[in-house]
Amino acid sequence: MLDIVDKMHLEERYPRQNIVQRFLEPDKVIVFTVYVQRDNGSVDIFECYRVQHDDTLGCYKGGIRFHPEVNLDEVKALATWMTIKTALVDIPFGGAKGGIKVDPTKLSVAELERLVRKYTQGLLNDIGPASDIPAPDVGTSSREMAWIYDEYRKHRTVARGVVTGKPIEVGGSLGRSAATGNGMVCTMMQAIKDLGLKDPTVAIQGFGNVGSHAALACAARGITVDAVNDVYGGIYNNQGINIPALVQHVNQTGSVVGFSGADKLLDDIIAYPCDILLPCALEGAITAENAHMVQARLIVEGANGPVTLDADDVLNDMGVLIIPDILANSGGVIVSYYETVQNRQGLYWEEKKVNDLLYRQITKAYQQVSNMARKQNISYRKASYYLAIDKIARAIIMRGAQ
3-state secondary structure of 374: helix
Beta bridge partners of 224: 201
CA dist 393 → 14, 66, 77, 208, 308 (Å):
9, 32, 19, 36, 26
CA distance 391 to 389: 5
Give the Cα separation of 92 and 88 in Å (integer). 10
**Collapsed DSSP state (helix, strand, coil) of residue 272:** coil
Task: Report phi then psi at 180, rounded to 5.
Answer: -65, -45
- Alpha-carbon distance of 28 to 46, in angstroms, equals 20
Euclidean distance between CA atoms 94 and 82, whole angstroms: 7
Is the CB of residue 163 less than 8 Å from the CB of residue 149?
A: yes
Is 97 catalytic? The answer is yes
DSSP 270: G
Under DSSP, the state recorded for 101 is E
Instruction: Yes or no: say if 171 and 163 are a contact pair by the CB < 8 Å rule.
Output: no
- Please pick, among 61, 97, 166, 382, the residue that the annotation labels catalytic: 97
How many angstroms separate the CA atoms of 297 and 37, rounded?
Answer: 51
Of 282, 274, 158, the C-alpha closest to 225 is: 274
Task: Find, among 67, 66, 255, the residue nearest to 143 by Cα.
Answer: 66
226 torsion bin: left (phi>0), alpha (psi -120 to 50), beta (else)? alpha
Neighbouring C-beta atoms of residue 56, cutoff 10 Å: 22
Other beta carbons within 10 angstroms of residue 155's beta carbon come to 11
**Looking at the annotation, which residues are catalytic?**
97
